[in-house]
Amino acid sequence: MRILFVGDVVGRPGREALKYHLPRLRADLGIDLVIVNGENLSHGFGMTAKSTQELAACGIDCFTGGNHSWDKKEITALFDRYPILRPLNFPQGLPGRGTLVLEAQGEKLAVINLLGHYSMGMVENPFNMAKAEVERLRNEGITNIFIDFHAETTSEKNGMLHLLAGQVSLIAGTHTHVGTDDLLIHQGTGYVTDVGLTGCFDGVIGVEKNAPLYRFTTGIKKSFDIPKTCRTIFQAIVADLDSGVCTDAFKIKAYDKEPAQTTLQAYRL
């Protein structure tokens, strides 16, 4: 089974980059399942019905979320219409789900969405919940398990690897929007601290630079904006999974409409 995971897709530039590159990559690389972090789809904050339908039409098999999952009120209705996850460790009683089981090549893949603790508000412990959920899935005979860990700190993400090494197939970090070069395979578990954003890369983590600079220099918040025109970047992780083991993984990257290139091969720890 070969999966492709696209990190935080930010606004219209991110959606356009994804729609442009995905069809060719799916065909050229033989992708079986496509998973996309969609919490920034609609102008950088949340998911609307329009933005979700736009990408669902491209054949996205699963959308994951994060701290912006609840930014648009209509998300509650979308949970029943599309394969959308929100972090598993949000407080009980909230709508939606944090785990989804997909099928491809005669094998099942469980996708788990988790939110980190640091600077993320009120959530349950992601480590304890991840451990329990992985145990539940493996008891059901599901060994291919992918985790999108949406977290602020690199230490949380790195810690999740060492907690679950050998028990899950792939852990990919999202949220910081800045891709890291630590793609590796450890005890059969693929790992990268952050996939990096898909969207504008000539501003500040996907948004127009003036509002962040105003906040940095004055301490006063100003509404972020997504540029209508910008240089774009597309970033994704491709991983081969077999019976719960990540056998290979690599990162692909494309600027604007240039052909996507493999930029990083997984190192075996």
List pLDDT tens digits, range 128-168. Answer: 999 999 999 999 999 999 999 999 999 999 999 999 999 99
Residue 220 falls within a domain, yes or no?
no
Residue 49 falls within a domain, yes or no?
yes
Written as one letter, the residue type at 71 is: D
Residue 218 falls within a domain, yes or no?
no
Average pLDDT value for residue range 177-206:
97
Q: Which of 21, 43, 68, 117 is labelled catalytic?
A: 68
Could you report the per-residue pLDDT of 207-264, keeping only the tens digit for each?
999 999 999 999 998 889 999 899 999 999 999 999 999 999 999 999 999 999 999 9
Average pLDDT value for residue range 32-51:
95
Residue 215 falls within a domain, yes or no?
no
pTM for the complete prediction?
0.96
| DSSP bridge partners of 111 | 100, 146
Domain that holds residue 184: 2-200+230-268
| DSSP bridge partners of 242 | 245
Q: What is the CATH number of the domain that holds 84?
A: 3.60.21.10
Number of domains in the chain: 1
Is 150 catalytic? The answer is no
| Rounded (10°) CA dihedral 175, 104, 165, 267 | -80
DSSP string, 43-89: TTSS--HHHHHHHHTTT--EEE--TTTTSSTTHHHHTTTS-B---TT
Could you report the per-residue pLDDT of 6-16, keeping only the tens digit for each?
999 999 999 99
Residue 221 falls within a domain, yes or no?
no
Burial of 180 (0-12, 13-18, 19+ CB in 10 A): middle
Average pLDDT, the chain: 96
Residue 222 falls within a domain, yes or no?
no
Percent of residues in the chain assigned helix, strand, coil, to nearest 5 = 25, 30, 45
Residue 81, token pair as written in the block: 């219409």
Sign (positive or negative) of CA dihedral 252, 75, 54, 2: positive
Residue 250 falls within a domain, yes or no?
yes
Residue 209 falls within a domain, yes or no?
no
Alpha helices in the chain, H assignment, sequence order: 11-29, 49-56, 75-78, 126-139, 154-164, 210-218
Helix, strand, or coil (residue 252): strand
